[in-house]
Amino acid sequence: MSEDTITIRKDAVWKYSTFILLGVLVVVAIISFSGDSPTITGNVVANPPTLNPPLKVTASADDDARIGSPDAPVEIIEFSDFQCPYCSRAAPTVKQILDEYGDDVTFVYRDFPLESIHPMAMPSALAAECVREQGGDEAYFEYHDKLFANQQFLSNENLKQWAQEQGFDIDSCLDSQKYLDEVKKDLSDGQAAGGKGTPYFVINGIPISGAVPFANFKQVIDAELNK
């Protein structure tokens, strides 16, 4: 027999195989009877558990456009991008919240333009501020709705035309980027509050990221109202 040949005795093979089999059975038993093993799916969790106590961030409403009284017990601040499709998807959810909770909530919209991927986000934010200058918060949110309803048609020409349809001439205001510092401050404040994408919501200091279902907001709002 060659010196390079390894000989394994049958009784050794049996012994090692028995140990391996016993190890596999122990692992299977642990997995089968453990009630703590998580199930991972690709579905959005409708009612995810909140942190107790919830993790809070600092976000200011600043002097941005608002719906509802600043004295409402629940303040919702959204950092958003007019060209972001997920922000557009979240807009009806915000309306649902306002309809359901009425005077119990106040909503503030702040800009978070992602210029690297949305070239019309900044001009749209500037145009909305120009409309607000002339028409106040009510006109701002009417224009806000117009932008989200026509995301695929955002252009400087249309931004001016839509404002004109509301009775406002924003040409010089938009062309001069009058509110550039204001929009940049919103973006900076959103990042400081933990925002890394859009939409990003802060509800009484509790952050919610993304276009999540109404149930997610409801859980946080109800908890705040029941304190």
What is the layout of strands, in order, in the sheet containing 200-203? 66-67, 105-111, 74-80, 200-203, 206-209
Q: What are residue 203's DSSP bridge partners?
A: 76, 206
135 part of a folded domain: yes
25 part of a folded domain: no
**pLDDT, mean of each 10-residue run, the chain (227 residues):** 41 48 44 33 33 77 97 98 97 98 98 97 98 98 98 98 98 98 98 96 97 97 96
Query: What does the pLDDT read at residue 45?
Result: 30
Query: What does the pLDDT read at residue 55?
Result: 83
6 part of a folded domain: no
122 part of a folded domain: yes
Find the domain containing 175 and state its range. Answer: 66-225
23 part of a folded domain: no
CATH of the domain at 163: 3.40.30.10
112 part of a folded domain: yes
Per the structure, how many domains does the chain have?
A: 1
Please check whether residue 174 is in contact with residue 123, taking contact to mean a CB–CB distance below 8 angstroms.
Answer: yes
Query: What does the pLDDT read at residue 54?
Result: 62
Nearest to 48 by CA among 219, 190, 186, 188: 219
139 part of a folded domain: yes
Query: What does the pLDDT read at residue 112?
Result: 98
3 state SS of 177: coil
HSE (side-chain half, CA atoms, 13 Å) at 165: 10
Nearest to 57 by CA among 201, 193, 191: 193
42 part of a folded domain: no
